[in-house]
A = this chain, B = another copy of it.
């Protein structure tokens, strides 16, 4: 069977880079040696890339001022990644990181206006996206540009509706495509876009906009509450989101990047973290739509930094003093196995897996998103059947289309 699915031998494995010293505040005191020391940790894991997060308002403090040094420091960080043979994915509009929103004074208080809808703000953001995209595209190890990390977290502080959000993202992705034509241009949303019926960012946008679909799998969204740190709902959640994303695309071969997956306390206690890594990857690596996995995150957060949600402090593969944690060793082991036998090993692609028909049309009925959310009847059935092996999700509208099913590697339907 021939599909355009991502080549499993070229799947990407990477981490979301969180600086070990001073978190993202360290951009204000950029230190190339500190970055080098952090990337040295990562290079030992067999990763091929890092995803990096400049802080938007520090680079563009005024709508019309884009700081050259801010961009230069980002480029320097990209070059340091290159020293370790790491490719780089750049997120532009941070924006949202680990509960904190970084917003410039030109969209706050006396200048309050929605970054999704205000024409002047959009003009300013467009210039930022253009300028930073052009700059980073000059580096051969940059492979992807995402508009910003989970930009839907910038709502409701910035009002929008589904139509405006879609236009905002579509317009900015065209800007990226023009500025960086040989780089993937991507959109990133947290999973309210998939599960919350009222959320003004829709599944169809996630599945249509950009060169591939990104998903962020966080088990504190409800699945870990269903069956604990290593239960089937928990360790299959990344695979479930990849399936939902694949099923929502009109293109049966559209790749899906698991752009964030992490082992958050207390949902996943430290003792269970290595098993969580292996079982989660065991599930998702069978998925033919999967183009790559990027772990959240590289380094723990120094507990001297205040007010983060508690789970954010210990998400690193490394401690702040560069000790490799057990889950990092497990991740490295899985990557090693996968690279050694991408097609024939224990995690062969399930190219002839069955599919579970989903009556909810996420493209047309985003108001029905609760029916596929963690704990819904559909999710519960999928998790139960997934225990027997890889299981696709098939939209009812495509269930009678043999070409579609073949293109997605689906051999028969259940449910």
Chain A residues within CB distance 8 Å of chain B:
22-23, 25, 28-29, 58, 61-65, 67, 69-70, 99-103, 105-106, 108-111, 120, 124, 153-154, 157, 304-307
Give the complex CA separation of A101 and B307 in angstroms: 22
Q: Is the CB of B101 within 8 A of A103?
A: no
CB distance from A224 to the nearest CB of B (A): 21
Q: Among B23, B58, B65, which residue has its beta carbon within 8 angstroms of that of A305?
A: B65
State the CA gap A154–B110 with chains docked (Å): 9
Q: Which residues of B contact A23 (CB under 8 A)?
A: 62
On whether A306 and B64 interact (CB within 8 A), knowing A69-B29, A109-B157, the answer reads: yes
User: How many copies are assembled?
Assistant: 2
CA distance A120 to B306 in the complex (A): 10
Given A102-B105, A108-B103, A124 and B63 contact (CB-CB distance below 8 Å): no
Q: Are B307 and A28 interface neighbours, CB within 8 A?
A: no
Nearest to A69 among chain B residues (CB) is: B29
Q: What residues of B have a CB within 8 angstroms of the CB of A29 in the complex?
A: 67, 69
Q: Are A61 and B28 in contact (CB under 8 A)?
A: yes
The 5 closest A-B pairs by CB, nearest first: A64-B306, A100-B105, A101-B109, A63-B306, A109-B157
Instruction: Give which listed residue, B105, B153, B307, contacts A62 with CB less than 8 A.
Output: B307
Give A145 to B157 CA distance when docked, in angstroms. Answer: 34
- Which residue from chain B places its CB closest to the CB of A121 in the assembled complex? B307
Q: Can you offer 28 A-B residue contacts whose CB atoms are under 8 A?
A: A22-B65, A25-B62, A28-B28, A28-B58, A28-B70, A29-B69, A62-B307, A64-B305, A64-B306, A64-B307, A65-B304, A65-B305, A99-B111, A100-B105, A100-B106, A100-B110, A100-B111, A101-B105, A101-B108, A103-B105, A103-B108, A103-B109, A106-B307, A108-B157, A109-B154, A111-B307, A120-B306, A124-B306
Looking at the assembled complex, report how far the CB atom of A69 sits from the nearest CB atom of chain B, in whole angstroms: 6
Q: Closest chain B residue to A64 by CB distance? A: B306
A62 touching B306, Cβ below 8 Å: yes
Contacts of A100 in B (CB 8 A): 105-106, 110-111
In the bound assembly, the distance between CA atoms of A101 and B103 in angstroms comes to 11
Collect the chain B residues with CB atoms within 8 Å of residue A22's CB: 65
> A106 vs B23: C-alpha distance in the bound complex, in angstroms?
14
